[in-house]
Chains A and B, each alone.
Chain A
Amino acid sequence: MNAHDLAQQLIYGLSVGATYALIALGYTMVYGTLRLINFAHGDVYMVGAVTGFYVAGWVSQWSIPIWLMLIVVLICSASACAVLGYGIERFAYRPLRSRPRLVLLITAIGVSLLLENAFQLPQLFGATPRHYPQQMTSELLLPVGFLGLTRLDVLSLSLSIILVGMLTWIVLRTRMGLALRAVSFRFDTATLMGINTDRVISFTFVFGSALAAVAGVLNAIRYQVDPLMGIMWGLKAFIAAVLGGIGSVSGALLGGLVLGIVETLLRGYFLPARYSGYSDGAAFVILILILLFKPSGLLGKTTIEKV
């Protein structure tokens, strides 16, 4: 395989990694504040894709340009997921916040199972995978004439960089960001300092869910919509967050891109063809290795366990 193909595989990896990064941000923010692995986050991503599917079916009847359609779809599904994320936190997690963390974790698994199974009901979506309207997908998946890159790849890469930039700006430059940093630094002290921790936590859920919805729509256009699409992508995005250093915004981006590249290269470059089935295990091996040797991740701060 020559350099051209290597570059091509790198680009596929980057565009897959960009969506991992978008989902990973949600994991990282929630973990930063609540120390909770929000198992339902992958399913919020799925709900984003499903909402987008219905909105796209409705919008594609209007005669408006594709980019406008896409914006409407993205905004609608991001807002729907923001509401969903807020609701999950408000009604399932908040009443349990004083309980041991395992209770929260089990509740998160419960919410995840609920979303997966509810959306398999034919009344909501059904078990069969479906595609977005063709006029949308064919237009967005046009190659831009450079190493097999499509418009969607360019879009998802730039979107995730812009959104990460925006989040970094919020975290570093706004009052909400200051409160967020305070809460994630020390929860109880932040409360004592008069920070409305409920608002901060709601914010992380709302913003994280909206980002997941964006990833959901992008991936649904690229692949398809399926009520179980969130399980694997959610897990892998979480691994990306751990890889980058959980709690770190730029770490999520880095972790996502690295994971995407590693997976694609393994599948298309390093592993012989008949073993590419194993590449799905790569993410889990990375997870275990990082947990063992550098649990703080690539960009995370090393913390010392104290009594």
Chain B
Amino acid sequence: MTEINARPSSRILPAWAGNLGILLVIAAMWPLNKVIQDQINPYVVQILTLIGINIVMATSLNLINGITGQFSLGHAGFAAVGAYTTGVVINYLAAHDSLAGHEWIAMSLLLPLGGLIAAAMGLLVGIPTLRLKGDYLAVATLGFGEIIRIVITNTNAIGPFEVRGSQGLRVPVLADLFWVYLWVAVCVAGIWRLVHSTMGKAFLAVREDEIAATAMGVNTTFFKVLAFAIGAFFAGVAGGLQATAFILIDPKGFGFIQSVLFVVMVVLGGSGSITGVVLAAVVLTWLPEQLRSLKSLHVEDLRMVIFSLLLIGMMLVRPEGLLGRRELWWTRRKMATAQIPRSTDTAPPISSTGP
């Protein structure tokens, strides 16, 4: 658990420099965005957009699954809530001729709105279910994800807002790389700083040993619910980005399989390693696109088979994921001093008590 003390960012630079750096990066993205949109092939822009959205999804799931040690299988459900909130309101504005000219304001208000509604949903789901453990929690979140999907599928309109259920909702394209990577920066930097703050230690303590954490005065329920709400918030924002970047959202795109894909990203990247999960999100989004050009080898058909074999193999050989709990730039020496445990053996696999 010494890993908690390892705070590379704070050792290299004081905290205000870090904040300033993030602000500078975000500020630089605005002019850069214009250049990229004009110069780079739209197909590449599309892939970069998808990569950004998946980074937000995987990083926020990592807060729940990797850092706090819970197990959510319904992350796509929260994305659906955010996507439909943002999409439905944008469509409403467009239909009432109040969108044109105000796209910038709409995006800066509606993405967080989608996130907030998703976070509220996360609280709704989290508070009752988080007293469940491990696999029971997984199934409960899965159930909630499916309920959200089924409800959206069967809903045509809520009051004046068109949802269009199974037909799929068309949303004007407003998200460009700036919006996507703005939120990537906010999400990754935010969760990074959260984890490396004093509060972050509480999240890690919940993961490492809940009973010991309680004994040390950590309100475990509060931190579990908080992780859930923050994770759901960013998932909702990612959903909103997806709604405004992909022309059409479809409840089928937020199903169980999609949630599993994000879990795979977290697991392969290394549960708990923020950079590892970002890397996994990038590779697992980019790889399938590259596999398209290898059609002669029938890789396309085998893609999901390869994915699942990768997952099983990873669990058998290296269950802590590609990077384990390290971050990208941790060297071997650092590893040696940090003494990362090889696996999360905290309790015997069989507990004598039931759920």
Interface flag for A3 (CB, 8 Å): no
A105 near B346 with CB under 8 A, answer: no
Contact B350 A281, beta carbon cutoff 8 Å: no
> Could you tell me the dominant secondary structure of chain A's interface residues?
helix
Least CB distance, A184 to chain B, in whole angstroms: 9
- Select B353's contact among A95, A105, A109, A303, beta carbons within 8 Å: A303
Contact with A along B139-159 (1 / 0, CB 8 A): 110111011001101100000
A102 proximal to B (CB < 8 A): yes
- Which residues from B are CB-within-8-Å of A275? 154
Interface code A281-293, partner B: CB below 8 Å = 1, 0 otherwise? Answer: 1001101100110
A238 vs B267: C-alpha distance when bound (angstroms) = 24
Say yes or no: is A173 at the interface (Cβ < 8 Å to chain B). Answer: no
Say yes or no: B305 contacts A291, CB within 8 Å. Answer: no
Say yes or no: B140 contacts A288, CB within 8 Å. yes
**Residues of A contacting B132 in the complex (Cβ-Cβ under 8 angstroms):** 291, 295
In the bound complex, residues from chain A placing their C-beta under 8 Å from that of B311 are 106-107, 109-110, 113
A234 to chain B, nearest CB (A): 11
Q: Which of B150, B305, B344, B348 lies in contact with A114, CB distance below 8 A?
A: B305
| B143 contacts across to A, CB distance below 8 A | 239, 284-285, 287-288
Complex Cα distance, B150 from A285, in Å, reads: 11
Q: What is the bound-complex CA distance between A40 and B203, given in angstroms?
A: 31
Beta-carbon contact of A103 and B319 below 8 Å: yes
B113 → A minimal CB distance (Å): 26
Contacting pair A277 B134 (CB below 8 A): no
Distance (whole angstroms) from the CB of A287 to the closest CB of chain B? 5
Q: CB-CB < 8 A to B352: which residues of A? A: 186-187, 306
Q: Which of A129-165 contact B (CB under 8 A)?
A: none
Contact yes or no, A188 B348, CB < 8 A: yes
Determine the distance from Cα of A12 to Cα of B355 in the docked complex, in whole angstroms: 32
Q: Could you tell me the distance between the alpha carbons of A277 and B71 in the complex, rounded to whole angstroms?
A: 29
Establish whether residues A99 and B353, one from each chain, have CB atoms under 8 Å apart when the complex forms: no
Question: Bound complex: CA of A113 vs CA of B312, how far in Å?
Answer: 10
Contacts of A188 in B (CB 8 A): 348, 350
User: A287 contacts which chain B residues (CB < 8 A)?
Assistant: 139-140, 143
User: What residues of chain A lie closer than 8 Å to B355, measured between beta carbons?
Assistant: 246, 295-296, 303
The reply to whether A117 and B305 form a contact with Cβ atoms under 8 Å apart is: yes
Q: Is the CB of A114 within 8 A of B309?
A: yes
Q: How far is the CA of A277 from the CA of B151 in the complex (A)?
A: 9
Task: State in angstroms the CA–CA spacing of A101 and B135 once bound together.
Answer: 8
| Interface bracket on B | 35 or more
A105 touches B354 (CB 8 A): no
Closest-CB distance, A179 to chain B (whole angstroms): 15
Answer yes or no: B217 CB below 8 A from chain A CBs: no
Most buried by A among B128, B256, B315, B343: B315
Chain A residue at minimal CB-CB distance from B312 = A110
Inter-chain contact A238/B354, CB cutoff 8 Å: no
CA distance A278 to B348 in the complex (A): 40
A291 in complex: contacting residue of B134, B140, B315, B350, CB < 8 Å: B140
The answer to whether A113 touches B353, judged by C-beta atoms less than 8 angstroms apart, is no
Tell me if A117 and B349 are in contact (CB < 8 A). no
Within the complex, the shortest CB–CB distance from A177 to chain B, in Å, comes to: 19
Q: Is the CB of A107 within 8 A of B350?
A: no
Per the bound structure, the CA–CA distance linking A117 and B307 in Å amounts to 10
A260: Cβ under 8 A from any B Cβ = no
Shortest Cβ gap from B14 to chain A (Å): 37
Q: Which residue of the partner chain B has the closest CB to A190?
A: B350
Bound-complex Cα distance A277 to B153 (A)? 9
Quick one: which of A234-275 are within 8 Å of B by CB? 235, 238-239, 242, 246-247, 275
Q: Does A92 contact B (CB under 8 A)?
A: yes
- Within 8 Å CB of B263, what residues of A? 106, 109
- Report the bound CA distance from A178 to B351 in whole Å: 20
What separation, in Å, do the CA atoms of A142 and B308 have in the docked complex?
Answer: 41
Q: Mark B316-355 against chain A: 1 for CB-CB distance below 8 A, else 0.
A: 1001000000000000000000000001111111111111
- A185–B135 Cα distance when bound, in Å, is 19
For the complex formed, measure the closest distance between the CB of B260 and the CB atoms of chain A, giving whole angstroms. 6
Assembled-state Cα–Cα distance A246/B345 (Å): 25
Query: Which of A34, A113, A301 is close to B260, meaning CB atoms less than 8 Å apart?
Result: A113
A118 on the B face (CB < 8 A): yes
A110–B350 CB distance below 8 A? no
Q: List 19 A-B contacts (CB under 8 A).
A: A92-B316, A98-B345, A100-B349, A102-B134, A105-B138, A113-B307, A116-B304, A121-B301, A187-B350, A277-B154, A278-B150, A284-B143, A284-B144, A284-B147, A285-B143, A287-B143, A288-B128, A288-B129, A295-B355
Extra contacts besides A37-B139, A107-B311, A112-B308 (20): CB < 8 Å: A98-B349, A100-B345, A102-B134, A109-B311, A110-B308, A116-B304, A117-B304, A120-B301, A120-B304, A188-B350, A239-B143, A275-B154, A281-B146, A284-B143, A288-B128, A288-B129, A291-B139, A295-B132, A296-B354, A305-B353
Interface residues of B (CB under 8 A from A): 71, 128-129, 132, 134-136, 138-140, 142-144, 146-147, 150-151, 153-154, 211, 256, 260, 263, 267, 301-302, 304-305, 307-309, 311-312, 315-316, 319, 343-355
